[in-house]
Structure 1
Amino acid sequence: MDKLGAMQAFVRVVDAGTFTRAAEIMNVPKSAVTRQIQALEKVLAVKLLHRTSRRLSLTEAGTHYYQGALRLLDQVSSLESSVAGATQSPRGKVKVEMPGALAYSLVLPALGAFFERYPDVQLDIRIGNRSVDLIAESVDCVIRVGPLLNDSLIARPLGFLGMSTCAAPGYLEKYGRPNHPGDLACGHTLVQLVSPQSGRAFAHELKRGEEVVTISGSHQLSVNDSTAALTAGLAGLGVLTTYTFLVSAHMDSGALVAIYPEWRGEQIPVHIAFPENRHVASKVRVFMDWTRELFACYC
């Protein structure tokens, strides 16, 4: 029996939660994974998993073995990376998840420079801002905007994203330009952005000196995606409050007009995060380092 391979299969089954999902991630038949775990339990002479038709759970011995296997596999991965890193550039696939606004406007347009620097790294970018289980879904790292809700992740700050309030010239010609944030509550329409996770409307604050005002008002349109909100704002469908990096070029061109330039919008934290208790491979580390360089230009 390939004990190291069986150990890797066992860890993958525990992380994935099912034999079927583990087999899909490993790209092997489910029967092969089952045989590996059965052979491992036979060699160890202990039962590692409680199996039911719906779920798996670790036995006491399984919990102890899983924790030890994680440490050992991380050591093996670290050793291999350190040896390979001395003779070759980072290579392999990195699976990343990030919100669409960051992907479309910041990361994807700049990836040419990353690929020139690391031609052997392949990126698998998934669009989303979910509270995803990185281990179960084999995600190497995530970029998150706003507070992190998953305590099992190790986060590295990328900076803060500024917010701007603006509207299309056609909208302002039709409804007038509000002089104070409080004016938006009467006679104006907002493009309302809601959380893709909870569906709750985002509330944004503007500050001027000691004065703090929460933007509020009526809306005819709500969307759960920042890029969709930008498109609505450009179409003159309402007053838009969104990330400055999304609207700066449109404000420079005149397609959008800053309404309250003397007021300061919120500063939203952004992080790149990866699972704790996991060795960070060189291919993942170089992407994370490059991302921090990229965001330093915008945050």
Structure 2
Amino acid sequence: MDRLDAMRLFTRIVELGSFTAAADDRNLPRATVTHTIKRLETRLGTQLLRRTTRRVHATQDGEAYYSHCIRLLAEMDAVEADFREATVQPRGRLRIDVPVQMARLWLIPALPAFFARYPSLELDIGTSDRFVDLLREGVDCVLRVGKLPDSGLVGRRVGTIEQLTVASATYVRKQGLPQTLADLEKGHYAVNWSSPTTHRSEPLEFMVGRKRREVSMPGHVTVSSVEAYLACCEAGLGVAQFPRYRAAEGLANGTLRQILPATPPPSLPVTVLYPPHRQMPARLRAFVDWLVEIMAKQF
């Protein structure tokens, strides 16, 4: 293995925190990975990695070497990209992560057209709403809905989604249908949502004209999973707020009722996130541009 390949392997070990994960990512035998790092440490005359029972961490020298590797490899990739012809078809494998319902409703049905345009690309699709550490998990990009924490990633807005306030038909029969926000604050319950990143329960939000108003309500349950949030609402445990596409089926079959349509929740941004690149890989650029294209048709 030449020095550049050894440097790429070392950076993947640091990012993934595992020799085994890096071996799988680079499609190499575990023994080859171990041998390569030993030779690299011998050549440099220092220990780069510290192994524990659960994870591999970079030493102080390893962190410094990692920074140099990232810079040098990015420059090398940029030089090579400058010499590639623009007409070359993007090729290779991309790991992406998309919310389950968005994948089912919009992304996957559009994939035949994507592969017709880019036959040399492959997609490894994860479906989740959780926080994904792109660098450490080896994911190229994620599609996310809603406000996003500052992560150092590059974000590209692809649209906005209308939200609704809803409750189950069973809940409305029992608690009544509120006509105003004041009604909602008297004698009603919410399915409380706890952010997976901040672990704090978040209030319901409403747009009163152009002003945003927060309403904190008591609740019997607090959840941090989108599927659990919907299930609790459908079970009659309280009022909840969803993107329209998540509530559409329940509204159509009558199991959910819309509440306070005159003061809807604020719309949610839809963003594709990916790591910063001095020279963005052609396969990632092609996918992001296509994602913006198909999402623009939905919103």
- TM-score, normalising length: structure 1: 0.81
Name whichever of 46-55 and 157-166 sits farther off.
46-55
Correspondence for 2:267: 267
Letter matched to residue 134 of structure 1: L
Letter matched to residue 204 of structure 2: H
The superposition leaves residues 211-246 of structure 1 with CA deviations (integer Å, 9 ceiling, x where unpaired) of 754334343444433344334445555433111232
CA distance in 2, matches of 1:117, 1:247: 33
2:200 aligned counterpart, secondary structure: coil
Are 2:42 and 1:47 equivalent residues in the alignment? no
CA distance in 2, matches of 1:111, 1:238: 37
Letter matched to residue 214 of structure 2: T
Deviation at residue 248 of structure 1 after TM alignment: 4.2
Deviation at residue 89 of structure 1 after TM alignment: 2.3
Correspondence for 1:56: 57
Are 2:133 and 1:133 equivalent residues in the alignment? yes
1:291 aligned counterpart, secondary structure: helix
Correspondence for 1:29: 29
Task: State the identity as a percent.
Answer: 35
2:164 aligned counterpart, secondary structure: strand
Deviation at residue 140 of structure 1 after TM alignment: 0.7
- Taking the TM superposition and a 5 Å limit, the aligned residue runs for 1:84-233 are 86-209=86-209, 213-233=213-233
Are residues 82 and 250 of structure 1, via their aligned partners in 2, closer, same or farther at CA, if it must alter by over 3 Å?
farther
Name whichever of 113-122 and 166-175 sits farther off.
166-175
Aligned length: 297
Unaligned residue ranges in structure 2 (runs of 5+): none
**Matched-pair contact (CA < 8 Å) for 2:165–2:264:** no
Deviation at residue 206 of structure 1 after TM alignment: 1.1
CA distance in 1, matches of 2:288, 2:113: 14
2:125 aligned counterpart, secondary structure: strand
CA distance in 1, matches of 2:142, 2:288: 10
Are residues 229 and 283 of structure 1, via their aligned partners in 2, closer, same or farther at CA, if it must alter by over 3 Å?
same
Deviation at residue 119 of structure 1 after TM alignment: 3.1
**Matched-pair contact (CA < 8 Å) for 2:192–2:222:** yes
Letter matched to residue 45 of structure 2: V
Unaligned residue ranges in structure 1 (runs of 5+): none
Are residues 182 and 88 of structure 1, via their aligned partners in 2, closer, same or farther at CA, if it must alter by over 3 Å?
same
**Matched-pair contact (CA < 8 Å) for 1:101–1:226:** no
Are residues 224 and 42 of structure 1, via their aligned partners in 2, closer, same or farther at CA, if it must alter by over 3 Å?
closer
Letter matched to residue 49 of structure 1: L
The superposition leaves residues 89-148 of structure 1 with CA deviations (integer Å, 9 ceiling, x where unpaired) of 222221112333433444334434333332332222223344433222111112233343
The superposition leaves residues 147-192 of structure 1 with CA deviations (integer Å, 9 ceiling, x where unpaired) of 4334332222233333211234454344332111232233434333
CA distance in 2, matches of 1:224, 1:252: 26
CA distance in 2, matches of 1:240, 1:109: 28
Aligned alpha-carbon RMSD (Å): 3.2
1:135 aligned counterpart, secondary structure: helix
CA distance in 2, matches of 1:228, 1:119: 38
**Matched-pair contact (CA < 8 Å) for 1:90–1:121:** yes
Name whichever of 233-242 and 26-35 sits farther off.
233-242
Letter matched to residue 239 of structure 1: V
CA distance in 2, matches of 1:149, 1:260: 29
Correspondence for 1:12: 12
Are 2:288 and 1:288 equivalent residues in the alignment? yes
- TM-score, normalising length: structure 2: 0.81
Are residues 255 and 85 of structure 1, via their aligned partners in 2, closer, same or farther at CA, if it must alter by over 3 Å?
farther
CA distance in 2, matches of 1:87, 1:298: 29
**Matched-pair contact (CA < 8 Å) for 1:100–1:225:** no
